[in-house]
A and B are shown apart, each in its own frame.
Chain A
Amino acid sequence: MRKKNKKAVVEIQFSWIFILIAGSVILLFFVNVAGKYKSSQEDALASDILVRLSAIISAGQMSANSNILLDLPKNEIEVMCFPETCEKKGCDTIFDFKKSSISPPAWMDIEPIFSSSFMKDDQLITWSLDWFTPFKATSVLYLSTINQKYVLVYDTFPMSGSSVISQDFTEFLKERLDQNNFTNFDYVEFDNLESYEYSGELSTRFIFLNAAPVNEIDLHSSFDRNSRISALKITDLDDNYEGNTFGEFKFCNYDDDEFNCPDDDEIEFFGLPMFFGGLFSDNIDNYKCNRIKMFLKLEHVIEMYSEKADSISYSGCNYNSIKSDIDDFESSFSFNLGVLNVDSDFNDKIIGISDKNNQLQISDCPLVY
């Protein structure tokens, strides 16, 4: 009788078990390595794009009113700024690109960048404007995407005394916004707002220039209740809107099918670039933070012009008066622990410096700015 070789059978089975275990371990190891490599490559790519984006954005700030459309496939950006962290060195700003948790460039703590807190699109729109007070204090950058819509709601025939926004200002605003070729702006008369339909954007921001309260507004049923809706309500506006627009607005949210504009979220703006900052920012903290950054820059520039007024020497020209005005201007604003305090005569001081500079020109003296 043949003897079966049981030892060989058992050996083969153990051999296969060993092969399976060893193979699984090796496979898991390489899958783990591949996963970590993919993750590190994505971070490297995000970092690389952030460096290039930083360079492109700095180039965009070079010329005033520049408007650039950047191709950034699968772009996803979260922007957050914390006004309570603001100090002389800037404000802590998070610019999370593709959830990579890579630190943003340090200049973002200093340069005012107004944008929505969340942007997701294949293209990024940049727009820059200069802020003059009366000399150039800083360039302001606005970021948006094509799938973000900004709807300006205005009164067709604003009654004098009932509206803070004149028809001239609305036309002026449209003219300025049309210089931004890429951002999705729309203009709707208040009477037609309830029939204004949603057209599929990621977010919609309403800017109410009309007089009527906003909490009674019912949006069209097509508005996706899950889409991001926010609003800005202008509550006060200075008459001198050509360049030096001052006033107040409220940041409103849209909850339970109703716009709510808390009194705590009423805030001032100084100049048209700051007004547009409120237009682009859907978050009041982001707005406050970038507003402080603008004033930080103003503080540095004022110092330079004060020194310049002190050092210019030209026969027959006296710069003591304008230097005094510039120094006085520097003390008209201050900030502490993220709270900005601006004197009520801030605009008057700007006009005063501008008048003194013009007088220098009439006297054929070298100008301070």
Chain B
Amino acid sequence: MKIIKLKKSQMKMLESIFVLIIFFFMLIFGIIFYTNYKIQNSKDRDYESSEIRLIEISNRLQNLPEIQCTIDGVYVEFDCIDLHKFESFVDYSKDNVGYYSKLLYNSFINVTQTYPTTFNHQIYSSGETDNFNIVRLPVNIYNASSKMNNFGYITIGVYR
């Protein structure tokens, strides 16, 4: 009789231990799953923030008096940059990178003229990583010396 009692209690203890093992196993599994989900969620939000930043920079660039063009004293509403101003801005932004990096973050901005002549200038660059989001915006490039509008595009890349 005594032996039977011993076996019954041992069985009960074993049962409790297995319950606890399964419980902790499920808990750990849940934590791992949740952590992976949060990491993926964080990456998605990081990408989304980067996209929003790209929009923000393109808005700021179009509104930057340092390169925005005027024709006959009137500020041009559509996308237009002043050739003389942005050529000066190339070196000026390098000398004042601490100031402009607060506006334009870690990004690079290239201006490419496609018509009538072609050229490519990097007017701003700050920071560098392998991952970046990029957008290209068509733009008029006003040349005050010839009083003519040339055609090109701005490339904005935001580093992630």
Contacts and interface: CB of A to CB of B under 8 A. Distances in A.
Interface of A: 48, 51-52, 54-55, 58-59, 61-63, 88-90, 106-107, 109-111, 130, 135-139, 296-297, 300-301, 303-305, 307-308, 311-314, 357, 361, 366-369
B63 A61 contact: yes
A89 B97 CA distance: 9
Contacts of B102: 89-90, 106-107, 109-110
B70 A367 contact: yes
A299 B82 CA distance: 18
Given A110-B103, A312-B84, A361-B73, A366 B144 contact: yes
B66 A301 contact: yes
A214 B60 CA distance: 42
A300 B59 CA distance: 19
B99 A62 contact: no
Contacts of B63: 58, 61-62, 139
Contacts of A51: 49, 52-53
A62 B102 CA distance: 17
B147 A366 contact: yes
Contacts of A48: 45
Interface residues of B, number: 36
B147 A88 contact: no
B98 A366 contact: no
A64 B66 CA distance: 16
Contacts of B52: 51-52, 54-55
Given A138-B65, A361-B72, 13 more contacts: A51-B52, A54-B56, A59-B59, A62-B59, A90-B99, A90-B102, A106-B102, A106-B103, A107-B60, A136-B65, A307-B85, A308-B85, A361-B73
Interface in B36-70: 45, 49, 52-53, 55-56, 59-60, 62-63, 65-68, 70
B98 A308 contact: no
A136 B68 contact: yes
B147 A304 contact: no
A308 B82 contact: yes
Contacts of B147: 366
A304 B103 contact: no
A272 to B, nearest CB: 17
A37 to B, nearest CB: 10
A311 B92 CA distance: 15
Contacts of A369: 70, 73
B99 A304 contact: no
Interface in B93-127: 96, 98-99, 101-103, 105
Contacts of B92: 300, 303-304, 307
A89 B98 contact: yes
B132 interface: no
A137 B99 CA distance: 16
A59 to B, nearest CB: 5
Contacts of B45: 48
Contacts of A54: 52, 56
Contact of A107 (B65, B89, B103): B103
Given A135-B70, A361-B72, A88 B65 contact: no
25 contacts: A48-B45, A51-B52, A55-B53, A55-B59, A62-B59, A88-B98, A90-B99, A130-B75, A136-B75, A296-B99, A300-B92, A300-B96, A301-B65, A305-B85, A307-B84, A307-B88, A307-B92, A308-B85, A308-B144, A313-B145, A314-B144, A366-B144, A368-B144, A369-B70, A369-B73
B72 A367 contact: yes
Contact of B145 (A55, A135, A297, A366): A366
A28 B57 CA distance: 46
B75 A311 contact: no
B128 interface: no
A43 B82 CA distance: 42
B5 to A, nearest CB: 14
Contacts of A59: 55, 59
B15 interface: no
A139 B103 CA distance: 13
